Structure 1
Amino acid sequence: MASLGGSMFVSTFLFVFVGLMSSSSEAAIKKYQFDIQVTNVSRLCHAKPIVTVNGRFPGPTIYVREGDRVLINVTNHVLYNMSIHWHGLKQFRNGWVDGPAYITQCPIQTGSSYTYDFNVTGQRGTLWWHAHILWLRATVYGAIVIMPKPGTPFPFPQPAREFEILLGEWWNNDVEEIENQGNKMGLPPNMSDAHSINGKPGPLFPCSEKHTFAMEVEQGKTYLLRIINAALNDELFFAIAGHSLTVVEVDAVYTKPFTTPAILIAPGQTTNVLVQANQVAGRYFMATKAFMDAPIPVDNKTATAILQYKGIPNTVLPVLPQLPASNDTRFALSYNKKLRSLNSAQYPANVPLKVDRNLFYTIGLGQNSCPTCLNGTQLVASLNNVSFVMPQTALLQAHYFNIKGVFRTDFPDRPPTPFNFTGAPLTANLATSTGTRVSKIAFNSTVELVLQDTNLLSVESHPFHLHGYNFFVVGTGVGNFDPAKDPAKYNLVDPIERNTVGVPTGGWTAIRFRADNPGVWFMHCHLEVHTGWGLKTAFVVENGPGQDQSVLPPPKDLPTC
């Protein structure tokens, strides 16, 4: 099995290397084979079988150029159903390849294959891919590196080399069993046993001598780190001892560069940073740990990797970085405030200035009756007091073929009952409703969505991801959103553009986007525990009048339910 994965890696690397070396300005076709298979992996003195792509953990990196066509054939050899999401790729008119199970496709069943065939249009930078069914993305994930078109330089100093840094979580026990146990009890599943950097927890954990990622650098050179938070449930700090990080891109969108001692990155987000190897030659720890500024338990252990100057022996002990405190709200708010779009002539920030549709969604946790659960109740999560129920037929198929009874388009534009959203903790059961309810959005209309955290059970920071789109984060604040005063403070000039945004603990975030991509597009909290509890919905964006403004026909090999 290992040799098979190795040979696939070599052939894929050679194919991609040749593709990248091509000087032709014509778009290339990049092909990948993803074999979903079970592989035995050992971490923290525990060995267990995990679901992988091509026997690798993390999975292979997809290397493409802007403008390329990509064909990824996924063959499922495991007992779980599978689907893969290409996180951050807009998939214009082509939601059939977006990947979330039962939203845009039925999953790939055991023994079956599906080819994700898509174009990379108008995007360049770091994105990632992951399983989008159950909790399988705990081990089924990898990076997507989109290089600019040939002859197009980065809008920042050319690095000597690039490294992908994937931050993740590790459980000693079977992740699906842990999730199922939590659901049966009506409680949060057990937290992870370690964080990881490129699948490795680092030397602060037992049995990790072999399981430490190391990155060699040369004095005086500049390096680009493509950092991805693939963790299931934790926002993470990341820093390198003795070295500053210059942020130049988030979610495959160039930013105004700024230098920081550490970054904050939520699940689903990517951040590109430049690092100058300008310190005394030695060994320095890269480190990551959770950020949590609410009274909710998280895995607070620190994963480490090593930045090592060339010629320095492994016997030199690395230095640990000073990460922000786990509950450092001030750092989190200050860091996110520094993120601004580059907004250059070549990479403008086309912020919608006029809004056609105003939406206001409250984020709530609650408890519904569950006679078989431990306390007779089950934790649920909701938007506007609606906890989303996954359908049995994929929503996009139901929309495209006009299949009745799969979903309703009456998701409320605002909460049914206004209240003091972020006041004293509210434990009263607001009778959260359940249903497969979505919002219908007119083609090419402009949308403003305010996401408001609430103190239902507890406030908490929530990273929200919108499929099929980037959006502009025009405003954010702590406390209750004030529609009379807060819009005057919006940044409509160079707000950060991204696909996943953190709603601050006990606060709100306002985003804007133009609904120019027809189809059915999932929007959900990227904390997997909350997604499972129903903190999700979808937008049905109607077709436009033009020939190239409607959903493409489905591919012939689209999986059936």
Structure 2
Amino acid sequence: MAATAAIIFFLSAMVLSVRAAVVEHTFVVSQVNMTHLCKETLVTVVNGQLPGPAIEVTEGDSVAVLLVNKSPYNITIHWHGVKQWLNCWADGVPMVTQRPILPNHNFTYRFNVVGQEGTLWWHAHVPFLRATLHGAVIIRPRNGAISYPFPKHDMEVPIIIGDWWQLDLPQVDRSMKNGSFDFFASGSTINGKLGDLFNCSGVPEVGYVLDVVPGKTYLLRVINAGLFSEFYLKIAGHKFTVVAADANYVSPYTTDVIAIAPGETVDALVVANATPGRYYMVALPNQAPRPDTQTKEFTTRGMVQYRVNHSSMTNGPAALRSTRGAKDEENDGLSGDVALAPQMPDEHDTMTSFYFHSNLTSLHHLSVPQQVDENLFLVLGLGSICRNGQQSCKRGGNNNESIVVATMNSVAFQHPTANVPLLEAHYYHSGLLDAVQELPDGPPRAFNFTDKALIPFGPKEMRLEPSSKATAMRRFQHGAVVDIVFQSSAILQGDSNPMHLHGHDMFLLAEGLGNYNAAKDVERYNLVNPPVKNTVLVPNLGWAAVRFVANNPGVWFMHCHYEFHLTMGMAAVFIVEDGPTVDTFLPPPPSNFQ
């Protein structure tokens, strides 16, 4: 019997190994001219596309991406949400896990996609360039459509929400680091198209068009690749059934609006069961109400239109090959002449986002660790440091003497200045990390974190402004169970904060508005079926409590996915030590490592 079992196991392993594939891509990063809003703009893209090419794999496959850098910038690519199990070397964070890929140089990323299904994405981890360097990562179940734990769908459609910038993005990054913040996108996009809300000289921009067939079911793989804004997504006359978030299945949740922050992904089913016609798909960015600083926000829209003369269609990834504009679709087998627009939330309605995220639960009961080894209370906000290393300076918006920074526990992240990436220094025990500052367990002082009087510049917030800048890190023993409470603060802002952890997923145990109170809020923790996320949106002037197991050895970035917060320093590094066994050790760098 033992021999028979061994043979069966061996044959099963052979079948799986035969079925697993190596998915290969070549990404050529270059600059091309694109024209929108009557202006030709030089943009940095992959393979001449915006968005860039999708990587489509089956769970268990390996991926090899040759990156050819023909741009004038140093480039790295991060595979957002891919766990990179025992493969931190491919995580793609400049000078944290690797040296950047220099202009006119190549590098091949190799990684396995194991134990994950759903929608993730890839993007440049170069400040602001991820606005144009991004694309979908689609992971299908090993056993095909029969393995999806939700009703069968007829077509899969990536929906990537993003920005259109007419500015020099690297220059925007440099200016923001120097304390200048008057920079905004020129528009918002769905799958790279601005849509007819934008026009130039009276000519509407082309919008994204999704052709649907009555009665068919569509799996929308929604990604927020925007730099600054959470978006509300609606389709007039239709509802979504949310089935996954961040490549983790959730209990099916029916809603007419999806709230999605930068870095997040949402999988949702849409049934084409409306009266045949045209229906706007609208993406509206939200922002915190006053007294928070108000920024230019742009709503965009595409079109869902019924094609009544189609009797069949193709399943699977070929779904999103429709790049036609609304002008091209007129008089082409359509039903209905007037497009119906959805009623959108107010741009200052942040409760819709809070309710959307609070309604998510895992599809399955989970083994959430009960015993916690480490606790962090991380207060997120803005602060200031003195220019030129001065110990004291005028604050309160005095840009000549101080620079506004984004912080966790009053520490803004200083990107490494040594010529050795932190991961190499850690792996080879070079001693470079011995003197690095530890990320504090909590803030330097307690205060009313969500007091709205702290949002504008003034004497009350100025006492809390002074901050430091350091390459803040936190070390965890392998297998440590870590609890983090992310507490938003009102210091110079009342924004939400999408916090992204590389190399791990997090159990989102609870979230709330106002100040976290351990005495009562711990009792609210969902330890049965919490949603599992790689990016957790900390609500406006609220908090989110997460738990994760530090079981993936390496050096991992943890940061806010709002680009201005990341540029300004809302980040830290988590170091996970090696475990006691061979399969819990970080292997050496690959042979092609720069």
TM-score exceeds 0.5: yes
Selected match of 2:416 from 382, 385, 391: 391
For residues 317 and 42 of structure 1, do their structure 2 counterparts lie closer, same or farther at Cα, with a shift above 3 Å needed?
farther
Residue number in structure 1 paired with 2:539: 504
Residue number in structure 2 paired with 1:226: 221
Residue number in structure 2 paired with 1:155: 149
Residue number in structure 1 paired with 2:86: 93
> What is the correspondence of 1:81-120 to structure 2 with a 5 Å cutoff?
81-120=74-113
**1:62–1:145 contact (8 Å) kept in structure 2:** yes
C-alpha displacement of 1:334:
1.4
Residue number in structure 2 paired with 1:339: 360
User: Are 2:376 and 1:376 equivalent residues in the alignment?
Assistant: no
**1:247–1:271 contact (8 Å) kept in structure 2:** yes
Residue number in structure 1 paired with 2:6: none
**1:472–1:512 contact (8 Å) kept in structure 2:** yes
Residue number in structure 2 paired with 1:523: 558
Q: Which amino acid aligns with 1:527?
A: Y
**1:520–1:540 contact (8 Å) kept in structure 2:** yes
C-alpha displacement of 1:68:
0.3
**1:95–1:520 contact (8 Å) kept in structure 2:** yes
Work out the CA distance in 2 between the residues paired with 1:83 and 1:97: 10
Residue number in structure 2 paired with 1:236: 231
Work out the CA distance in 2 between the residues paired with 1:296 and 1:430: 17
Selected match of 1:403 from 404, 425, 430: 430
**1:129–1:141 contact (8 Å) kept in structure 2:** yes
C-alpha displacement of 1:328:
1.3
Work out the CA distance in 1 between the residues paired with 2:273 and 2:18: 36
The answer to which of 317-326 and 120-129 deviates more is 317-326
C-alpha displacement of 1:337:
1.4
Aligned residue for 2:351, secondary structure, equals helix
> What is the correspondence of 1:42-441 to structure 2 with a 5 Å cutoff?
42-151=35-144, 152-184=146-178, 186-207=179-200, 209=204, 211-294=206-289, 295-311=292-308, 314=330, 316-343=337-364, 348-370=365-387, 374-392=399-417, 393-406=420-433, 408=436, 410-423=438-451, 424-425=453-454, 426-441=461-476
Work out the CA distance in 2 between the residues paired with 1:288 and 1:264: 10
Q: Which amino acid aligns with 2:265?
A: T
1:261-292 CA-partner distances (Å, limit 9, x unpaired): 11100000000110010011011110101111
Selected match of 1:29 from 22, 29, 32: 22
For residues 445 and 40 of structure 1, do their structure 2 counterparts lie closer, same or farther at Cα, with a shift above 3 Å needed?
same
C-alpha displacement of 1:375:
4.1
Q: Which amino acid aligns with 1:376?
A: E
TM-score of the aligned structures, taking structure 1 as reference length: 0.92
C-alpha displacement of 1:25:
6.1
C-alpha displacement of 1:330:
2.4
1:414-441 CA-partner distances (Å, limit 9, x unpaired): 1222222122312325421111120000
Work out the CA distance in 2 between the residues paired with 1:399 and 1:50: 36
**2:238–2:274 contact (8 Å) kept in structure 1:** yes
Aligned length: 533
Residue number in structure 1 paired with 2:458: none
> What is the correspondence of 1:439-454 to structure 2 with a 5 Å cutoff?
439-454=474-489
Work out the CA distance in 2 between the residues paired with 1:311 and 1:298: 42
Work out the CA distance in 2 between the residues paired with 1:466 and 1:296: 27
For the aligned residue pairs, the C-alpha RMSD in angstroms reads 1.9
Work out the CA distance in 1 between the residues paired with 2:380 and 2:75: 28
Residue number in structure 1 paired with 2:7: none
C-alpha displacement of 1:23:
10
Work out the CA distance in 2 between the residues paired with 1:383 and 1:408: 16
1:184-231 CA-partner distances (Å, limit 9, x unpaired): 4x1324111111000111011015756311110000111110000000
Work out the CA distance in 1 between the residues paired with 2:293 and 2:231: 15
In structure 2, the gaps of 5 or more residues are 1-14, 310-328, 332-336, 390-397, 455-460
Aligned residue for 2:591, secondary structure, equals coil
Selected match of 1:492 from 499, 524, 527: 527
The answer to which of 425-434 and 61-70 deviates more is 425-434
Work out the CA distance in 1 between the residues paired with 2:75 and 2:351: 40
Residue number in structure 2 paired with 1:11: none
Residue number in structure 2 paired with 1:543: 578
**1:39–1:51 contact (8 Å) kept in structure 2:** yes
The answer to which of 229-238 and 367-376 deviates more is 367-376
**1:367–1:429 contact (8 Å) kept in structure 2:** no
User: Are 2:500 and 1:465 equivalent residues in the alignment?
Assistant: yes
Aligned residue for 2:358, secondary structure, equals helix
Work out the CA distance in 2 between the residues paired with 1:427 and 1:335: 35
Work out the CA distance in 2 between the residues paired with 1:172 and 1:135: 12
C-alpha displacement of 1:532:
0.6
Aligned residue for 2:518, secondary structure, equals coil
**1:469–1:499 contact (8 Å) kept in structure 2:** yes
Work out the CA distance in 2 between the residues paired with 1:427 and 1:501: 29
The answer to which of 25-34 and 71-80 deviates more is 25-34
Work out the CA distance in 2 between the residues paired with 1:120 and 1:481: 36
**1:25–1:149 contact (8 Å) kept in structure 2:** no
Residue number in structure 2 paired with 1:19: none
C-alpha displacement of 1:175:
1.9
The answer to which of 294-303 and 41-50 deviates more is 294-303
Work out the CA distance in 2 between the residues paired with 1:280 and 1:220: 10
Work out the CA distance in 2 between the residues paired with 1:234 and 1:330: 15
Work out the CA distance in 1 between the residues paired with 2:182 and 2:206: 26
Work out the CA distance in 2 between the residues paired with 1:196 and 1:375: 36
Work out the CA distance in 2 between the residues paired with 1:142 and 1:225: 15
**1:463–1:501 contact (8 Å) kept in structure 2:** yes
**1:290–1:298 contact (8 Å) kept in structure 2:** no
**2:173–2:567 contact (8 Å) kept in structure 1:** no
C-alpha displacement of 1:26:
2.3
Work out the CA distance in 2 between the residues paired with 1:365 and 1:465: 18
C-alpha displacement of 1:374:
4.5
For residues 421 and 210 of structure 1, do their structure 2 counterparts lie closer, same or farther at Cα, with a shift above 3 Å needed?
closer
Work out the CA distance in 2 between the residues paired with 1:199 and 1:378: 34
Aligned residue for 2:89, secondary structure, equals helix
Aligned residue for 1:544, secondary structure, equals coil
Work out the CA distance in 2 between the residues paired with 1:178 and 1:538: 24
C-alpha displacement of 1:409:
5.4
Aligned residue for 1:532, secondary structure, equals helix
**2:497–2:560 contact (8 Å) kept in structure 1:** yes
Q: Which amino acid aligns with 1:460?
A: D
Aligned residue for 1:332, secondary structure, equals helix
1:381-437 CA-partner distances (Å, limit 9, x unpaired): 111111110003311111111122356252211122222212231232542111112
Percent identity over paired residues: 41
